[in-house]
Structure 1
Amino acid sequence: MELMQELKKIVNVYEALDATTILAVTDTKGCILYANQNFCDISKYSKDELLGKTHRIINSGYHDASFFKNMWEVISQGTTWRGEICNQAKDGTVYWVDTTIVPSKNELGEVEQYIAIRSDITEKKMLAFKLEEQLVHDSITGLPNSIYLESIVTKKIAANEPFYLLKINIDDFKSLNESIGMEHANQILKKISERLKAISQHHHVLLTRAYGDEFILLCPMSKEQIKSFIHTLRKLCDTPIHYLDSEHYMTFCIGGVRYPEDTTSYQDLVYYISTAIDYAKKKGKNTYAFFKHTMLEDIDENLALKNKLFRAIQTKAFTMHYQPQWNAHHEIIGFESLARWYDETHGFISPAKFIPLAERTGLIIPLSYLLFEQMLQDFLRLQNVMSKQIKIAFNLSIRQFFDEQLVSRLLQLCEKYNIQSSCIKIEITEGISAFSVENVIPIIQKLYDSGMEVEIDDYGTGFSNFKYLKDLPIHGMKIDQTFIATCMTSVKRKAIVNSMIHLAHELGFSIIAEGIEDEQQLQYLTAQGCDIFQGYLLGRPQPVNYYEK
């Protein structure tokens, strides 16, 4: 009776397994001796087609030979094997099964059969593959992302295979984003990626999207090949990108790093390539640079300089110099204020060095207001020396221009020193022209309405191509000194200067010429009707006590 009950339990277990799992029994050579209906349903083979065959009949080719070799080594020793297997049905579709193979032994302990118990996990595996795909691919461009790049580069480093990494950063993409919106900018980014992909595939290069407007390319190339490839990349945007009935001309900077010459660490490769592209961007747009270890010295120097700059702002260690501005009657009517910084270690540090550093580090905001206040203090002294009403010009940085408290803080400082806002001229750098007109004009209007005069600095390098120039609420424009320097030796430059003066007057703006260094330039610009003159010929920038003497 007890034996019958035990047999019934065994039968019940078998029936439960047969009903809920995919069952198969094979001999020691792998020939199928039994296959249940679930096996037939998922494989789409009949029992007659399966019996007597090996599992090669459903081999999908997904697993390599070592996978099955390892499995057979385990089960042939009488040990249970567990794993996930990708099989192929009769109609060519693939399916995944979670598999347990249990060796069945005889009285002597010898393996005589294998019982395979499987469950269908196809849906689970497909979801996992989809999530993995999303994890290692960019959703906008469809390109592999930085996670995938790291896995591939790490393998190449382990195999000691030489390669180059190139990083591409699109010039002024932030401005495009602000101008047309993120959704449309992403479509242009996708079109750029398609061009890059076509070139990369042709040269057997792995293209990935790092983040934002940056791409990284893994290039298994020689030194000569990489130079040629970069030349090809730089020609990529010779033709504009067409989107929504508009043409967009795009350029980019490229940074490069080599393995193993530069480093053998993936983290260092990524850091060095970013250092190289930062160096390239400092040289200007649409250029490239390969990493050099001397660049790290520049970074260390910049870090030390940043710390000094922070302390200099706290201790107010800056002075202002003033360059006179003259009218056509040879009278000083005002000054342009220019910042100077003297450090005990470095000596005089050029504004061309510390102003961009302040921009990059975010120190430009406190620095700019400090300099503006210093200028106001000196203005009272200059006003006293001149014994007449004068104006003083202050250069706004790009970050300060977009400071939400800009106008209110400037007016508060003017009120603090009892200086009329109409005595202040605000010069806007040509870099503002890179931003959308919808964001720029309201800020200029607020400055204009405050009573301050607003001038465009470096006219001819940015806003001169601005189609909304006539709508800008400004008072004057300053011709960039590069045009002044060559106007007497270049017929084309002279024609450009003439047209600038004429255009400014037609729009009702005053025109200022800076960088005048000889009498011939002064006489010519006076004859052409220029309103205000500035340059070394007429006076170098000097501290306020120079004028008091």
Structure 2
Amino acid sequence: MIFKTIRSTLTVFNSLAIAGLCAAVLAFSIFTHEDLYREAVTGDLDGLSNNLSVDLFAVLAEEGDDLDTVAIRTLLLRLGEYENVKFAVVFDRDFNQIDTYRGPTLQVEGELEIVVDTEQLNQIPLGMSNKNGELFAYKIVGDEELPFGYLLIVNDLEKPLTGSKMHLLTRVLPLTFIIIGIGIALSLWLNSRMLLPLQKLARLAHQIKETNDYSIDINVEGKKEVVDLSNEIGSMMDTIHEEEIKNKRYTQQLMQQRKDMERLANFDSLTGLPNRQFFMETLRKSLSTAEREGDNLVLMYFDLDGFKGVNDTYGHEVGDKLLIEASKRTQRFLRHGDLIARLGGDEFLILLYNDPNDFVVTDISERIIKEISKPFDINDWEILISASIGIARAKDAQFNLSDFVSNADVAMYKSKVEGKNTHTIFVPEMMEDNKRKLLLANKIIPGLKDGEFSLYYQPKVNPYEEIVGFEALLRWNSPEFGFVSPVEFISIAEQSGKINEITYWVLESVLRDSATLIEHFGSKLSISLNLSVHDLRNPKLFEDIVRLYKELDIDARCIEYEVTESTYLENFDMANEFFGKIKDLGSFIALDDFGTGYSSLSYLTQIELHTLKIDKQFVDNLGVSKRSTLVTKTIIEMAKQLNLNICAEGVETREQTDFLIANGCHQLQGYLFGKPAPLKAILNTFTKR
């Protein structure tokens, strides 16, 4: 009786013990699985948000008033591959929402507005966090010290985690019930000989719990029931071990993806060089170290002259290969430890350590310039470009990161102004010039509105010295800066993106003045105005011309558009298309500064011109240089054979006039016949026809 009671007690106890053991192993497996799942999802979302914030940086960092919302929306649509993302929001640097993304769980009928105010954002820490079953990725777009915006991604953690645990339970739970059933059956046959194997199983279970090693071989000898129980537990451990291996493999994949994303975040995908973000962070640390140790650093800022023309002429594939080859050539001349990075487009930065002297810096710069100027053989094309380099020292910028880069940029611009294909070392005086340029750039639009700009007209005469046309010339008289030369403010307007506003103002003013000029000088008068390369690239300009012609009732035959020879040929296809439309309207095209930059004349057979203008440098040398005189004669004769109207600029003497008329020049323009003057002065000075 006592034996039966003990046996019954042992049976119940053993059954409960087995059930408890299985439950403990199952619970521990679930907890382990949950932890691994959380880590995997967090790591995956962290890498995804880092990669997305880097891509958003390229959009938010672009200059201009209008953001490319299409590009931002395209980037956010990548989240469509992640079914557990609830929503994402992109903010600008002032925490204003730019765009949002709604995940599948929020896609309901009708519009659902996602609004995250500043108070809610302040409750979310930067980086990765989770709360109330949601995982938050809150990242800065750009540098922490100079953010361009912020990215918030909210991921549903609880629902997929529950599903994952249920998936694990559906696989393990049936096996657990089987083991418990076997344990209860075996407990009926428990005796003193069976208690020892069970104790071994208990010790093994404890060992598994302590070591988290589910690969331990469970092989306990005993009766058949004990052996079966041992095998079933071993089978369950194998299942758990397989799941653990899968999770580890998945974690390793996520870690590798994270490494790949970090590389994409820090290195340029085209050239393999460090990108702007990585370089700027390295530069910041290097400046701090150099300032602390009393050392100096040298920064070289350079870009490729004529690169845009390569892209426009040969296509972006050739342009990309050109950038790769140019970066390889540049690296040959850097010292061990120096750092080169691609800033973006065709711009590169080089950081020279150990305070190199002027001789070393000059030697490196000249080697790079010489190597870049050699022909590039790309896709069977021989490409010729050059490099303009700006050089700055950290001490001149007081080790300030922004000033350091700005100084190098200013010096590089100086190299371009001085003819490109050269290098310039920054000196503080350059910053004053740069400040003046910035001030002038900011005054252009207000100056147009406040009447600071005006048009001067210079007459053109025929061989009988009768006025047959005028060229409109822009002048700027600023209350703050006084008279500003067109040579200065036109280039500043082009660089600051304000040339289109100036061109429109000139176009409208000339067309309004044309009625008065034509009334005074006759209906056959021709009025010309100048266009720049930026105007040729402005798709809206032709629409403005058509609209103004119609609004002001302009006779298109009285308007002539002048463009320099170099501008036309550097943008040949674009210029041909634009001036083809102008010709269809009835207006005329004049090629200015002819003969000053190109030796091949074959292009004259491919474009339809009305007027060829002989540059002043040829006119100045008439009768002085036999070679210039011969060239001028040749140009006039060639133009006559091509049936072109010929206009000579810069005529200042009677000798020049007599020579040009004798050789068949149709129009003359210069101080001899009249200096540029305002419209009112023109009307008062010259006799009405």
TM-score, normalized by the shorter chain, greater than 0.5? yes
| Alignment counterpart, residue 511 of structure 1, candidates 646, 649, 669 | 646
| Alignment counterpart, residue 215 of structure 1, candidates 336, 341, 348 | 348
Q: Does 1:479 pair with 2:672?
A: no
Match of 1:169 in 2: 303
| Alignment counterpart, residue 318 of structure 2, candidates 184, 189, 209 | 184
Cα distance, 1:385 vs structure 2: 3.0
Cα distance, 1:407 vs structure 2: 3.0
Counterpart residue identity of residue 150, structure 1: M
Cα distance, 1:276 vs structure 2: 2.2
Q: Secondary structure at the match of 1:255?
A: strand
In 1, Cα distance between the equivalents of 2:504 and 2:550?
14
Match of 2:377 in 1: 242
Whether the 8 Å contact between 2:340 and 2:351 is mirrored in structure 1 is yes
Q: Does 1:140 pair with 2:274?
A: no
Q: Does 1:427 pair with 2:620?
A: no
Equivalent positions of 1:93-242 (< 5 A) are 125-160=255-290, 161-200=295-334, 205-220=338-353, 221-242=356-377
Whether the 8 Å contact between 2:304 and 2:386 is mirrored in structure 1 is yes
Which has more radius of gyration?
Answer: 2
Cα distance, 1:199 vs structure 2: 2.0
Equivalent positions of 1:333-412 (< 5 A) are 333-387=468-522, 389-412=524-547
Q: Does 1:12 pair with 2:142?
A: no
In 1, Cα distance between the equivalents of 2:471 and 2:304?
35
Whether the 8 Å contact between 1:398 and 1:431 is mirrored in structure 2 is no
Counterpart residue identity of residue 519, structure 1: R
In 1, Cα distance between the equivalents of 2:264 and 2:497?
35
Residue identity over aligned pairs, in percent, reads: 28
In 2, Cα distance between the equivalents of 1:397 and 1:178?
17
Counterpart residue identity of residue 175, structure 1: G
Whether the 8 Å contact between 2:457 and 2:682 is mirrored in structure 1 is no
Cα distance, 1:178 vs structure 2: 1.4
1:174-223, CA deviations, whole angstroms, 9 ceiling, x for partnerless residues? 1211111111210111111121122225x763222111101111123212
Whether the 8 Å contact between 1:385 and 1:547 is mirrored in structure 2 is no
Q: Does 1:495 pair with 2:625?
A: no
Match of 2:184 in 1: none
In 2, Cα distance between the equivalents of 1:403 and 1:208?
32
Whether the 8 Å contact between 1:444 and 1:474 is mirrored in structure 2 is no
Cα pair distance change 1:20/1:365, threshold 3 Å: same
**Once superposed, what is the RMSD of the aligned Cα atoms?**
3.0
In 1, Cα distance between the equivalents of 2:551 and 2:305?
41
Cα pair distance change 1:157/1:518, threshold 3 Å: same
Q: Secondary structure at the match of 1:264?
A: coil
1:505-548, CA deviations, whole angstroms, 9 ceiling, x for partnerless residues? 23222221111222232222223322211111221111222232
In 1, Cα distance between the equivalents of 2:249 and 2:446?
68
Counterpart residue identity of residue 179, structure 1: T
Counterpart residue identity of residue 171, structure 1: D
Q: Secondary structure at the match of 1:218?
A: strand
Match of 1:284 in 2: 419
In 2, Cα distance between the equivalents of 1:324 and 1:144?
56
Q: Secondary structure at the match of 1:256?
A: strand
In 2, Cα distance between the equivalents of 1:495 and 1:20?
97
- Which of the pair is proportionally richer in strand? 1
Cα distance, 1:387 vs structure 2: 4.5
Cα pair distance change 1:436/1:491, threshold 3 Å: same
Cα distance, 1:149 vs structure 2: 2.2
Whether the 8 Å contact between 2:566 and 2:597 is mirrored in structure 1 is yes
Q: Secondary structure at the match of 2:323?
A: helix
Cα pair distance change 1:215/1:20, threshold 3 Å: farther
Counterpart residue identity of residue 331, structure 1: E
Gaps spanning 5+ residues in structure 1: where?
23-117
1:280-337, CA deviations, whole angstroms, 9 ceiling, x for partnerless residues? 2233322222223333333333333233321222234332111111222322211111
In 2, Cα distance between the equivalents of 1:10 and 1:266?
63
Counterpart residue identity of residue 166, structure 1: M
- Which of the pair is proportionally richer in helix? 2
Cα pair distance change 1:12/1:277, threshold 3 Å: same
In 1, Cα distance between the equivalents of 2:564 and 2:199?
93
More deviation in 539-548 or 292-301? 292-301
- TM-score normalized by structure 1? 0.75
